[in-house]
């Protein structure tokens, strides 16, 4: 932890300790998991009684809770007060009730204050929702891929570039899922440590297309072939059903309309 990060954490701890409604506070996020670096923000999980939840969130916004001065702050998902200081240090305070806190994974929490016990660490079993997420991801990939004919037909090259980025993002998501790294298990600003060296090399080798037909089709084809080659065995490993008819229809559609083989 850098001096600036420690100073911010000390300010946050002091502000929360001064409010008797705060039942417990925990360092979470990358610091809680032991994965932080000099660019990490400070994430805290704050436990309050259900009757105090709304008032504490208002207190963060109106200054009743003496948090560090911010140049920007907002409420995320109705429960996370997120702020940026004048020095561009960042912090997130996630407010939960004791019952909600008891369901969290205790392995990524470091106790800061309060007498509430940490919840138990969750077993490292595969997420039971993985098969459903992969199925939705595959269907969405095929849908977006098939819509590329519209962009080409209209010569909407900028929209086509956006579509390629969507496809690339879904390929990254697929690879992370294959590594047992669903979105909930990783930070939003990290990828390197969650991908294998081969996966990183494959992604880094993908072309960044210029705004034109040939470049877009080349990029779409490379991404699609890589995605499908990885998605089918992952679906089978998870016991899911592969959308044979949808894949076949999409392949035929691209071949017929664009001369693109995937």
First to last CA, the chain: 47
Q: How confident is the model at residue 124 (pLDDT cuts 50, 70, 90)?
A: low
Q: What is the pLDDT of residue 184?
A: 63
Interval 12-26: pLDDT, tens = 999 999 999 999 999
- Dihedral over alpha carbons 162, 164, 170, 176 (to 10 degrees): -110
* CA-wise closest residue to 199 among 234, 166, 164: 234
Structure confidence at residue 70 (pLDDT)? 97
- pLDDT surpasses 90 at 187: no
Residue 88 sits in the same domain as residue 167: no
Q: Which domain holds residue 145?
A: 130-258
Q: Write the burial class of residue 123 (CB in 10 Å: 0-12 exposed, 13-18 middle, 19+ buried).
A: exposed
Say if residues 164 and 219 touch (Cβ distance below 8 Å): yes
List the alpha helices (DSSP H) in 76-156: 98-101, 130-146, 148-154
Does the residue 124 lie in any domain? no
Do 201 and 227 belong together in one domain? yes
Number of separate domains in the chain:
2
- Comparing 98-102, 115-119, 152-156, the range with the smallest average pLDDT is 115-119
Do 135 and 87 share a domain, yes or no? no
Confidence at residue 258, expressed as pLDDT on a 0 to 100 scale: 96
Q: Do 101 and 177 reside in the same domain of the chain?
A: no
Is the overall model pTM greater than 0.85, yes or no? Answer: no
254 and 134 in a common domain? yes
The answer to the question of residue 48 being in a domain is yes
What mean pLDDT, rounded, does the chain reach?
94
Residue 181 banded pLDDT, cuts 50, 70, 90: confident
- What average pLDDT does this structure show over 96-116? 93
Q: Over pLDDT 70: what percentage of the chain?
A: 96
Residues 92 and 65 in one domain: yes
CATH number of the domain bearing residue 9: 3.30.460.10
**Within this chain, do residues 86 and 7 fall inside the same structural domain, yes or no?**
yes
Q: What is the mean pLDDT of residues 169-188?
A: 84
- pLDDT of 190 reads 79
């Amino acid at each position: 932890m850098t001096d600036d990060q420690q100073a911010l954490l000390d300010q946050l701890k002091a502000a929360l300790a001064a409010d008797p409604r705060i039942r417990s506070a925990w360092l979470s996020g990358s610091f809680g998991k032991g994965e932080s670096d000099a660019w990490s923000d400070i994430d805290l999980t704050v436990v309050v009684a259900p009757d105090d939840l709304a008032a504490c969130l208002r207190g963060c916004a109106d200054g009743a809770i003496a948090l560090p001065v911010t140049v920007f702050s907002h409420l995320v998902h109705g429960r996370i007060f997120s702020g940026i200081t004048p020095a561009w240090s960042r912090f997130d305070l996630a407010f939960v009730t004791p019952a909600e806190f008891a369901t969290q994974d205790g392995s990524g929490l470091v106790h800061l204050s309060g007498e509430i016990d940490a919840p138990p660490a969750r077993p490292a079993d595969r997420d039971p929702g993985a098969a459903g997420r992969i199925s939705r991801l595959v269907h969405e990939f095929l849908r977006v891929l098939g819509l590329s004919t519209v962009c080409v037909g209209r010569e909407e090259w900028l929209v086509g570039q956006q579509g390629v980025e969507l496809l690339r993002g879904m390929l990254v998501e697929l690879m992370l899922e294959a590594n047992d790294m669903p979105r909930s298990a990783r930070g939003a600003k990290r990828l390197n440590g969650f991908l294998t060296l081969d996966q990183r090399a494959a992604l880094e080798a993908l072309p960044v297309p210029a705004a034109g037909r040939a470049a877009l089709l080349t990029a779409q084809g490379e991404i699609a072939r890589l995605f499908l080659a990885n998605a089918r065995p992952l679906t089978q490993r998870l016991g899911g059903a592969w959308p044979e008819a949808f894949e076949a229809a999409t392949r035929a559609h691209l071949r017929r309309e664009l001369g693109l083989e995937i």
